[in-house]
Amino acid sequence: MKNVYFLMVPSTHLLDLAGPLQVIHSVGEVGAATVDVRCIGPEVSVGAFQPLTLTDIRPLPRALPPDAVLFVIGSKLTPALMRSTAWRKSVDWLARLGRERPDGLRICGVCSGTFLLAEAGLLEGRLCTTHHRFIARLRTASPTATVLENRVFVEDGDLLTSAGVTSGIDLALHLVSQAFGEDVAIQVARENVVNFRRFGADPELSAATRHRAHGNQRIHAIQDVIASRLHAGVTIDELAAQAGLSERHLARLFLAETGVTIKQYQIALRMDLARRLMTSSRLSLENIAASCGYGSVQAFRANWNKHERLPPSLLRRGGGALQPDA
C-alpha cells in the first residue's frame, strides 16, 4: 500500500474524508512505512458540506500505479450535485478505471461515495454497504448489487465499502492491518485513540484487536509485551515489574480494561497464531506448537481442543496448507 488516493467531489462530508485520511497518514507517523497520500478530484477546490473549502486538490490522474488504494469519499447527495459536471467527470473516470483495472487496485467507497461507484457500474454483482439511510436507495441505484445493512464495512475482493462517517476509520484500519500487519494497525489505532469495531453480522475481530477497546496505555504496553513473547512466554511478575504495579493490582486492572485475564489473553493470541500458521505455512505441528510457546504437541493439543471446534488436521486441509500435521 504505497499509493493511496482520496477522490472528492463538491459537498464532501469532512469526517468521511478526515477519518480514513488520518488513519492512512498515521502509518508514516508511527514509522511503519512511507505512504504517498493524494487528494484528487474533478475540481482544484471543493466546498465541503460543512462550512469549509478544501483546496489544492490534484486532478484526476490518467492512470493509477499498481497496487494503489482509492477511497471514494461520501458527499451530501443532492439532485444538483448528481447532475453536476464534477459528478459526471468523476463517474466517467471511475468507469474507465473499472474497465482498465490497474494491477492490484483496491477501491473503497465511504458512505454515499458508493453512489459514484454505482453510477460507474462498479457495484454490479458485488456485495456492498452504505450509510443506513441510503440502503434502499443504493439497492435501486444498483439493482444487481447485494447491499448489506448493519455492517461497519463489507469486503468483496478488491471492492470495499463502508457505512460512512466514522466507519471509514474502521475500513482504513482494516486495510492497514492487511497491508502492514495487526501490530501496525494497533499502533495507528492507539495513535488516533480509536477502537476496533464490528457489528453483529461482521466477521469477528482477532484476539489481538478484540481486547484493545480501551484507552489505558499501561495495559496496552503490557499487551504488547505478551504479544512479542508468545514463543517464550512471560510471567506475571515480569509483567508487573514492567507495569510498575503489584501482581494483584495488574491482574485486576488487566481484567477490568480488557474483559479477560492475562492468561486468557495469552492463550487467545497463541490460538490466533496457531490458526494462521496452520492455514498459511508448511510448518509441522511440532514447530507450530513451539512457535506458539508450548513445550510439547500434547500441551498444544490440550489447549487447542478447549478452544477450537475442528482438529488441527481438518483446519489445515481446509486452509489449503500442504503439510499434514503429525
Whole-number pLDDT of residue 282: 81
**pLDDT by residue (tens digit) across 33-54?**
999 999 999 999 999 999 999 9
The string over 254-288, giving b where at least 16 C-beta atoms fall within 10 Å of a residue's C-beta and e elsewhere, is: beebbebebebbbbbbbbbbbbebbeebebebeeb
Whole-number pLDDT of residue 204: 63
Whole-number pLDDT of residue 222: 94
Q: Name 300's Cβ contacts closer than 8 Å, sequence gap at least 6.
A: 274, 285, 288, 289, 292, 294
Q: What are phi and psi for residue 16, nearest 5 degrees?
A: -60, -35
List, in order of start, the domains of the chain with CATH numbers: 3-191 (3.40.50.880), 206-326 (1.10.10.60)
Whole-number pLDDT of residue 231: 87
Whole-number pLDDT of residue 324: 36
Low-confidence ranges of the chain (pLDDT < 50): 319-326
Q: Name 81's Cβ contacts closer than 8 Å, sequence gap at least 6.
A: 9, 10, 11, 75, 87
